Amino acid sequence: MRPFKYVRASDAAAAARAVAANPRAKFLGGGTNILDLMKEDVERPNELVDVTRLKLSEIKAASGGVSIGALAKNSDTANHPLIRRNYPLLTQAIVAGASGQLRNMATNGGNLLQRTRCQYFYDTAMPCNKREPGTGCGALEGLNRIHAIFGWSDKCVATYPGDMANALYALDAVVRVRGASGRERAIPVGEFHRLPGDTPQQDSNLAHGELITAIDLPKSNFAKNSYYLKVRDRASYAFALVSVAAALELERGRVKQARVVLGSVAHKPWRSLEAEAALVGGPASEESFRRAAEAALAGAKPLAHNGYKVELGKRAVVRALMRASRLA
Amino acid sequence: MSDEFDESSGPELTADEEALLKEMPTLTDVGQARRTFMGQTIAGGMGLFALMLLEKERALAALCTEPGAVFAAAPAVENPVRVALKINGATRTLELDSRMVLLDALRERLELTGTKKGCDQGQCGACTVLVDGRRVLSCLTLAATVEGKEVTTVEGLAKEDELHPVQAAFIKYDGFQCGYCTPGQICSAVGVLAEARRGDVSHVTEDVNASTTRLTDDEIRERMSGNICRCGAYPGIVAAIREVHSGRESARTWRFVEGEELARVRKEWEADETV
């Protein structure tokens, strides 16, 4: 690992200023991803600003919904009574990810900022536009079984690997951030991550030095009928090949409101407005869910080795909706 | 190859190990125990094996009992950070390279080698320790970040002569083969049991909104999935955790021996050179 200066931030403003002042500085949360990447020589910060002791870990009721601190641990978030009762989809998504140890370490803000698991990104002997802009994409015509089927560019076909963000997107969550100047802004989760385009080195729309302070969840009508489905190579402790955050508001057997967000299929959580449109107003039935699944995957553009994700994605959408509506 | 392993005297210590033992008098008994390891496990039964583990842990824990002692900085430290670490109840102040993770601080600076380095990148769980009572991966935890927090390693679980119930259960149920993942498995299991008592849910919990603290075997497997065992000792691990969690003991197949009985059995091993 390359040498770096370790700084413990005293407050959020100082932390944001410290990182903003040094283009090679990074925030340190739980460290579960950045330390791994530093050991692999993929991340090379020369300064880490430890923000874990800032008072940003509260989970509390706020304006009809719940506000979760950016530095609350994933495990505390998943198990908080307010989350389990009102947003079970979020609990399910968090506990589908990583291991007990990692969830005890990982912060909510850090979880949003986790980087791709593309093997070409991790392997410094390989070309990767995300790791080293201009070197090319090893996965585009390489081994791309775990890669994107939506929204990719010829510069990058990596996916966002997380689970939590998919549920947050389905729950209309908003990310609160604070810049070095003290300016605060609110970014809807769906606009937090971005598609690769020509600048895949940028995973999110955060500016350098902007610190995530909280994630706000609005009041939700999805608590009764939601489900997070994760499909992976083994039953536990693996990243998703495809995941689905499904949330329904049902009224007398008909769908009043719907959210369908797919994970591990694009450079960001992939919400399917087409599937949602196919669901709303219709009955909660397997037939209707199948139509929604067809709509969700209609625009998929698979690569050489991930064509299976299209059919898998359809079946996962149907299964998730069946579980959400308690038909399965 | 057969002449390299003399079965009549048991495994011998290497020159390095002999030198190490001379420097650490508290370890002499452990060295003795290791020489007669095969005799113990066969003739003495598992009670003595447990005793041997306990002795080893006491000896290792004793290496670091000087409260407030400042350890000299290792050579080639860059960006040094001075960190007061609370490990197994004792505080040690170290000057560390900012890059040093807790795992390396434990093993390389504090000689607490119970915590194992497996993959060193958060995929195997061998380095699991407890920080403020919660299981974490010491390979992905910068030592500087745990200042002021209570770190418990596998060496700190036993209470004097008494193994932690999870340790005892692992021995009883043969929850290991090579033993390399075992300290991590045990620390993780201690964490799992605390999480279950709090009512934490898992990926296989049917209704995350219902409150239950009961762990089924599937729950144990899921919650322990971050600890990989390449020997495949999983059935024993699940059985051990199940017993401690449920509090329902099944018959123990071993016992501790002490005093005169221990001396007598030791004499027998020394006399018996056939094992």
Instruction: Read off the pLDDT of residues A181-201 as tens digits, 9 standing for 90 and up.
Output: 999 999 999 999 999 999 999
Evaluate if residue B38 carries a pLDDT over 50.
no
- Tell me the HSE value of A20 on the side-chain side, using a 13 A CA sphere: 17
Contact B203 A101 (CB under 8 A): no
Residues of B within 8 A of A31 (CB-CB) are 140-142, 145
As a whole number, mean pLDDT of residues B45-70 equals 60
Residues of B within 8 A of A101 (CB-CB) are 125, 128, 135-137, 188, 191, 226
CA–chain centroid gap for B108, Å, is 16
Q: Backbone phi, then psi, for B148, in 5-degree steps?
A: 80, -5
> Which range, of A39-43, B40-44, B88-92, B121-125, averages the lowest pLDDT?
B40-44
Tell which of B103, B209, B213 to mutate to test the A interface (max A CBs under 10 Å): B209
Residues of B within 8 A of A104 (CB-CB) are 134-136, 191
Mean pLDDT value across chain A: 98
pLDDT at B2: 41
Does the complex come out with an ipTM higher than 0.95?
A: yes
Say which residues have a Cβ less than 8 Å from residue A2's Cβ, sequence separation at least 6.
A38, A41, A44, A46
Q: Which residue has the tokens 């201009």?
A: A134
As a whole number, mean pLDDT of residues B196-204 equals 97
Closest CA to B142 of B81, B233, B203, B51: B81
What does the block give as tokens for A46? 């020369």
Q: Which domain CATH number covers A297? A: 3.30.390.50
**Cβ–Cβ under 8 Å, residues A196 and A155:** yes
**Cβ–Cβ under 8 Å, residues B114 and B180:** no
Q: How many CB pairs under 8 A join A and B?
A: 110
CA angle (A229 as vertex; A225, A234 as ends), nearest 5:
155
**Cβ–Cβ under 8 Å, residues A71 and A31:** no
pLDDT at B3: 42
Residue A304 lies in a domain: yes
Proportion of chain A above pLDDT 90, given as a percent: 100
Contact A102 B223 (CB under 8 A): no
What does the block give as tokens for B84? 């007061």
Query: pLDDT, tens digit, for every residue of B64-121?
Result: 555 565 665 556 789 999 999 999 999 999 999 999 999 999 999 999 999 999 999 9
Residue A179 lies in a domain: no
Residue spans of beta strands (DSSP E) within chain A: 5-8, 25-28, 47-50, 59-62, 65-69, 174-178, 184-188, 211-217, 226-232, 240-251, 254-263, 270-271
Q: How far is CA B231 from CA A64, A236, A238, B34, in A?
A: 51, 19, 20, 22
Domain B2-63+158-271: homologous superfamily in CATH: [2Fe-2S]-binding domain (1.10.150.120)
Cα torsion A167, B228, A232, A126: sign: positive
Query: The whole model's pTM is what?
Result: 0.86
**CA-based nearest residue in chain B for residue A235:** B222
Residues of B within 8 A of A28 (CB-CB) are 142, 145
Query: Using CA atoms, how far apart are residues B137 and B147, in angstroms rounded to an integer?
Result: 16
Comparing B36 with A324, the larger pLDDT belongs to: A324
Query: pLDDT, tens digit, for every residue of B227-270?
Result: 999 999 999 999 999 999 999 887 766 677 888 999 998 888 88
Contact A101 B191 (CB under 8 A): yes
pLDDT at B68: 60
Considering only the beta carbons, identify the residue of A8, A32, A235 that sits closest to B140.
Answer: A32
Q: Kindly indicate the confidence band of residue A322, based on its pLDDT and cuts at 50, 70 and 90.
A: very high
Residue A16 lies in a domain: yes
Q: How far A148 CA sits from the closest chain B CA (Å)?
A: 24
pLDDT at B44: 45
Contact B99 A28 (CB under 8 A): no
Mean pLDDT value across chain B: 83
Residue A159 lies in a domain: no
pLDDT at B253: 64
Considering only the beta carbons, identify the residue of B122, B192, B203 that sits closest to A96.
Answer: B203
Domains contained in chain A, number: 2
Query: pLDDT, tens digit, for every residue of A109-121?
Result: 999 999 999 999 9
Q: How far A47 CA sits from the closest chain B CA (Å)?
A: 10
CA angle (A148 as vertex; A39, A175 as ends), nearest 5:
70
Query: Using CA atoms, how far apart are residues A157 and A120, in angstroms rounded to an integer?
Result: 10
Residues of A within 8 A of B141 (CB-CB) are 31, 35, 105
Closest CA to B139 of A79, A262, A234, A40: A40
pLDDT at B50: 64
Evaluate if residue B226 carries a pLDDT over 90.
yes
Query: Using CA atoms, how far apart are residues B117 and B96, in angstroms rounded to an integer?
Result: 19
pLDDT at B180: 98
**Cβ–Cβ under 8 Å, residues B118 and B125:** yes
Q: How far B225 CA sits from the closest chain A CA (Å)?
A: 6
| CB-based contact, B212 to chain A, within 8 Å | no
Q: Where are the domains of chain B?
A: 2-63+158-271, 70-111+115-126+137-152
pLDDT at B42: 41
pLDDT at B49: 61
Q: Exposed, middle or buried, B93 (CB in 10 Å: 0-12/13-18/19+)?
A: middle
Q: Which domain CATH number covers A45? A: 3.30.43.10
Evaluate if residue A234 carries a pLDDT over 70.
yes
What does the block give as tokens for B150? 């209570």
Q: H/E element holding B150?
A: strand B150-152
What does the block give as tokens for A248? 């329904």
Would you say domain B70-111+115-126+137-152 falls under CATH 1.10.357.20? no
| CB-based contact, B203 to chain A, within 8 Å | yes
List the beta bridge partners of residue A316: none
How would you label B125-147 residue by residue, b for 16+ Cβ within 10 Å and e otherwise? bbbbbbbeebbbbbbbbbbbbbe
Residues of B within 8 A of A235 (CB-CB) are 222, 225
Q: Which amino acid makes up residue B61? A: A
Q: H/E element holding A166?
A: helix A164-170
> Which range, of A6-15, A206-215, B28-37, averages the lowest pLDDT?
B28-37
Query: Using CA atoms, how far apart are residues A33 and A160, in angstroms rounded to an integer?
Result: 13
Residue A294 lies in a domain: yes
- State the distance between the two ends of chain A, measured CA to CA, in whole angstroms: 49
Q: Ramachandran region of residue B133, left (φ > 0), alpha (ψ -120 to 50) or beta? A: left
Evaluate if residue B275 carries a pLDDT over 60.
no
Q: Kindly indicate the confidence band of residue B25, based on its pLDDT and cuts at 50, 70 and 90.
A: very low
Proportion of chain B above pLDDT 70, given as a percent: 71
- Structural domain containing residue A41: 5-52
Residue A215 lies in a domain: no
Considering only the beta carbons, identify the residue of B208, B222, B224 that sits closest to A92.
Answer: B208
Query: Using CA atoms, how far apart are residues A314 and A163, in angstroms rounded to an integer?
Result: 18
What does the block give as tokens for A265? 């299929």
pLDDT at B257: 82
Residues of A within 8 A of B125 (CB-CB) are 99, 101
Q: Following DSSP, what letter does each residue of B62-127 receive, concatenated?
A: HTT--TTPEEPPPTT--SEEEEEEEETTEEEEEEEETT-BHHHIIIIIS--TTS--SSSSSSS-TT
CA–chain centroid gap for B132, Å, is 17
Say which residues have a Cβ less than 8 Å from residue B255's Cβ, sequence separation at least 6.
B45, B47
Q: Kindly indicate the confidence band of residue A140, based on its pLDDT and cuts at 50, 70 and 90.
A: very high
Evaluate if residue A153 carries a pLDDT over 60.
yes
pLDDT at B31: 39
Q: Kindly indicate the confidence band of residue B61, based on its pLDDT and cuts at 50, 70 and 90.
A: low
